[in-house]
Each structure stands twice: as structure tokens, then as C-alpha cells.
């Protein structure tokens, strides 16, 4: 709590509201008593000025382009850590010792198989179903298979559910892909790392052995780290809101997946690559820049702009370098990478983008990498969901352990009809 109070005068009555300090970042005004004191609500569509919770997981300074997970800069984690270590960090608050990390990896590895009956779910979907539709359905259905980890008031069950979700998500995601291309599901293999195992379940076929390329494994692991958590974004807030009613963890994560699917959120990497392909060649860029600036044209530069970052998204920096490494290693000469780099340069020097502080976000380059690795565009958001699962479960656990937690229930500014009497149909 800060020494300062915020003073608000409404209708001649003045009241003080406590100002709360975080460890870093903006202070917040505690308005919990506002309605009781004034009979008024705050109006904040999109929650642009509202802190919905207290959290110790992720910190973003959007003006400076800083992203910290439990205090560690995302660039350091992406370059020096591993996705499994970042998962442990997010869930437990501290980096693990060697033994703790080994134990954690063993636990996650031992949970990668899914109930065999779950495979029948896939067959209920049309072959051309979007894999995110499959993910929403199958992840929600996990609660029907793992009853022993749905009591949210038991910390042990919460931990098991968290481990299950992190461990099974690659298996479920790879199965969604396999189903869409008509290939047999591939079982996990415990001698492989989390990321290598996922690549194998996705790209191997029973007819021949698949040896994951270390450069691709490393790139994929980095992509997972870059997407692991991101403060109170739309899908995370959805998970928290769903969880605030006491819903089981699998249902909450399915809700998060549904929210992530939208093109303004996780669907942007798919949309960004589609846009780059549509632009096709560097000479077409000015036409698209003009469209993005035209108020009468709904077109936006996908992969550009962010609700919080008003500077370069620090994840985009790592992503651009990773894209270069992967394309070089695979010997892919994809013109979309040239289009992306040129588009970035032109936009960064254009007064419209400078004034509105629009910079490339994490999705701008990720599609280029994922496409080079061999993922179809429909899988991009699935990979995001896979990586974000740890953030979702860590935030969900934090919420449930928070004594200030209440069921999420925003209020509204009502502008509909005032009370009126029902008129029978024959008199209307």
C-alpha cells in the first residue's frame, strides 16, 4: 500500500481511495469501494485502465519494450534457458536446481500419453476441421477423462492437472495435425525432449524413423519460451474469468484456447503469414502500407501493433533472429522473409506507424519460421496454445491461491429501454 491516497469528489462528497504499489510498474487505485461510496461504476471497455488482479508472474513495460517472467528478461530466457525450465519457473516462482529440473522433466514426460479413448473424439470431427476447433473440443473433454484432478480446492489435484495439461498438449496438438492430414497418430517417446517429442509426433510416420534436427528443436523451443506467458492478455483473462466460477482446469484452458483463436490475438500469426504471402513481392509493399493507413479500409498490417507494447515487442527481436537461423539451416529461400524484413523497415520509418507507436509484434516473424519448419498455417495458433498453456495454468493457480479472488463479474452502463409493460402479440 502506498502512503498516497487518490481523492475523488462525486456530487459534492469527497472520498479517499488507497493507492497500491507493485514491485515495479504503475501504481493502481483501489476502487473496490467506489460503488458503495458513490453509486457509480467505472467505464473501461477492453479494460485498458483496469488491473483485474494482483500477479507475480509476468511484467511488461510496453513503452520500453520490456518483458520479464518472474523477473527474468525474455531475451535471456530465450537464449539461455529451455522451455521446460521456463515452465518450472512460471509454475514455481524460481529457477529449478538441476535435480528439481530433472524431476520436473520426468514428471512431465510421464504424463504425455492421453487416454486411448480420447482418440475416438478426433474421429467425430470432419477431416477439414480447423485444428483450433479440435483443440477446444478435445481439451475441454479432458475433464471427462481425468476426474481425479478436477477438485480445484485441492492443491495436489491442481498440480497434477497443471502437469497433465502441459504434458498432454503437444500430444493433443500433434494428433489434431495428424488427423487433418489423414496420417496415423504417433505415440510420445520418453527418451526425447519435450520439444523433440512434439516434432516427432507431428512429422514422423510409422514407415520410417524421424530424427529431429537440433536447430529446429532449438528454434521451436525458443518459440515456446517466447509464447509461454504474457500477463493479463485476452486469453489469460478468459482462463481466469472462467476459473473464477470454480470451473475445472481443463474447461478453463479450453475457454482460453477459444479466446486465443481470434485474429486479433493468437490467430494473428496465421493472418500475418497469409498477408505476407498475399503481398508476395517487395514492390507491392507500398500498396499495402497505403491500405493500412486508409481509414476507410478495414485492412490492418497483421503482426503489427500491440495493446501494451508501444515499442518493439522484445519477443519479435528474438523471433527475427530465429527466422534467419532456421531459413539458413534449412536452405529455404522464402521470399516472404524478404517481404517481412522490407515491410518492417518501411513501416518503422512511416510517420503513421511512428505516431501510433505501431511496431512488429511476436507474430510478425513466427509464421515465417513455422512455415519453413513445415507447419501448415492452421497449426500456428495451435502451437501458440501449446506454449501458452503453462502461462494459463500458472495464472489459474495463482488466482485460486489468492485470498482476494472473487468470481469475475463486470458491471455495465445500461443504455437499453427502461421498464415497460408486456404487450400481448395480438395487440402489437
List 15, 159, 265, 324, residue binding ligand ACO (CB under 6 A)? 265
Site string for ligand ACO, 346-375 (x = CB under 6 A): ----------x-x--xxx------------
Given a contact cutoff of 8 angstroms between Cβ atoms, the answer to whether 326 and 80 are in contact is no
User: Between residue 288 and residue 307, which ones bind ligand ACO under the rule CB under 6 A?
Assistant: 292, 300-307
Output the residue with the shortest Cβ distance to ligand ACO: 305
CB of 393 to ligand ACO, least distance (A): 18
Place of cell 509464421: 367
- Beta bridge partners, 10, equal 13
CB of 214 to ligand ACO, least distance (A): 27
- Buried b or exposed e, range 264-285, using 16+ CB within 10 angstroms: ebbbbbbbbbebbeebeeeeeb
CB of 375 to ligand ACO, least distance (A): 17
Task: Assess 310 for contact with ligand ACO (CB under 6 A).
Answer: no
# binding residues, ligand ACO (CB under 6 A): 18
Neighbours of 104 (CB within 10 A): 19
Taking the least distance from each CB to ligand ACO, the nearer of 15 and 291 is 291
Distance from C-alpha of 222 to C-alpha of 205, rounded to nearest angstrom: 25
* Rounded-to-10 torsion of CA 252, 253, 255, 256: 130
CB of 12 to ligand ACO, least distance (A): 35
Taking the least distance from each CB to ligand ACO, the nearer of 196 and 226 is 226
DSSP class of residue 96?
Answer: P
What DSSP line would sit under 218-283, residue for residue?
HHHHHHHHHTS--SS-HHHHHHHHHHHTT--HHHHHHHHHHHHTSTTTTTHHHHHHHHHHHH-SGG
CB of 274 to ligand ACO, least distance (A): 12
Catalytic residues: 306, 363
Taking the least distance from each CB to ligand ACO, the nearer of 304 and 337 is 304
Given a contact cutoff of 8 angstroms between Cβ atoms, the answer to whether 5 and 18 are in contact is yes
User: Between residue 224 and residue 263, which ones bind ligand ACO under the rule CB under 6 A?
Assistant: none
- Residues of this chain that interact with ligand ACO (CB under 6 A) are 264-266, 268, 292, 300-307, 356, 358, 361-363
Amino acid at each position: 500500500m502506498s502512503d498516497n491516497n487518490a481523492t475523488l469528489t462525486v456530487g459534492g462528497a469527497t472520498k479517499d481511495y488507497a493507492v497500491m504499489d507493485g514491485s515495479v510498474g504503475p501504481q493502481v487505485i483501489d476502487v473496490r469501494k467506489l460503488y458503495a461510496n458513490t453509486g457509480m461504476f467505472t467505464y473501461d471497455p477492453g479494460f485498458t485502465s483496469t488491473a483485474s488482479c494482483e500477479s507475480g508472474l509476468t511484467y511488461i513495460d510496453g513503452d520500453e519494450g520490456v518483458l520479464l517472467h518472474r523477473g527474468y528478461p525474455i531475451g535471456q530466457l530465450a537464449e539461455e534457458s529451455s522451455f521446460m525450465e521456463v515452465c518450472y519457473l512460471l509454475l514455481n516462482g524460481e529457477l529449478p536446481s538441476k535435480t528439481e529440473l530433472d524431476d520436473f522433466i520426468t514428471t512431465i514426460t510421464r504424463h504425455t500419453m492421453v487416454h486411448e479413448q480420447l482418440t475416438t473424439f478426433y474421429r467425430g470431427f470432419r477431416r477439414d476441421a480447423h485444428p483450433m476447433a479440435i483443440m477446444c473440443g478435445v481439451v475441454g473433454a479432458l475433464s471427462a477423462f481425468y476426474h481425479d484432478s478436477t477438485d480445484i480446492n485441492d492443491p495436489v489435484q491442481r498440480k497434477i492437472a497443471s502437469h497433465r495439461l502441459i504434458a498432454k498438449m503437444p500430444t493433443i496438438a500433434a494428433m489434431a495435425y495428424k488427423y487433418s492430414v489423414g496420417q496415423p497418430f504417433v505415440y510420445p517417446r520418453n527418451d526425447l525432449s519435450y520439444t523433440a517429442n512434439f516434432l516427432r509426433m507431428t512429422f514422423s510416420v510409422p514407415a520410417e524413423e524421424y530424427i529431429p534436427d537440433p536447430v529446429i528443436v532449438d528454434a521451436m523451443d525458443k518459440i515456446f519460451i517466447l509464447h509461454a506467458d504474457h500477463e493479463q492478455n485476452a486469453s489469460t483473462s478468459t482462463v481466469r474469468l472462467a476459473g473464477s466460477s470454480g470451473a475445472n482446469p481443463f474447461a478453463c484452458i479450453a475457454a482460453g484456447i477459444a479466446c486465443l483463436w481470434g485474429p486479433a490475438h493468437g490467430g494473428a500469426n496465421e493472418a500475418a503469414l497469409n498477408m505476407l504471402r498475399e503481398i508476395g513481392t517487395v514492390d507491392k509493399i507500398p500498396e499495402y502500407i497505403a491500405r493500412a493507413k486508409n481509414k476507410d479500409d478495414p485492412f490492418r498490417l497483421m503482426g503489427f501493433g500491440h495493446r501494451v507494447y508501444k515499442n518493439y515487442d522484445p519477443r519479435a527481436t528474438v523471433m527475427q533472429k530465429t527466422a534467419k537461423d532456421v531459413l539458413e539451416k534449412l536452405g529455404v529461400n522464402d521470399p516472404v522473409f524478404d517481404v517481412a524484413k522490407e515491410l518492417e523497415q518501411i513501416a518503422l520509418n512511416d510517420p503513421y506507424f511512428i505516431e501510433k507507436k505501431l511496431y512488429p509484434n511476436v507474430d510478425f516473424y513466427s509464421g515465417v519460421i513455422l512455415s519453413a519448419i513445415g507447419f501448415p498455417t492452421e497449426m500456428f495458433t495451435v502451437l501458440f496454445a501449446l506454449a501458452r498453456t503453462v502461462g494459463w495454468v500458472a495464472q489459474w493457480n495463482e488466482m485460486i491461491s489468492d485470498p482476494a479472488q472473487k468470481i469475475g463479474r463486470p458491471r455495465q452502463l445500461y443504455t437499453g429501454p427502461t421498464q415497460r409493460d408486456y404487450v400481448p402479440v395480438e395487440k402489437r
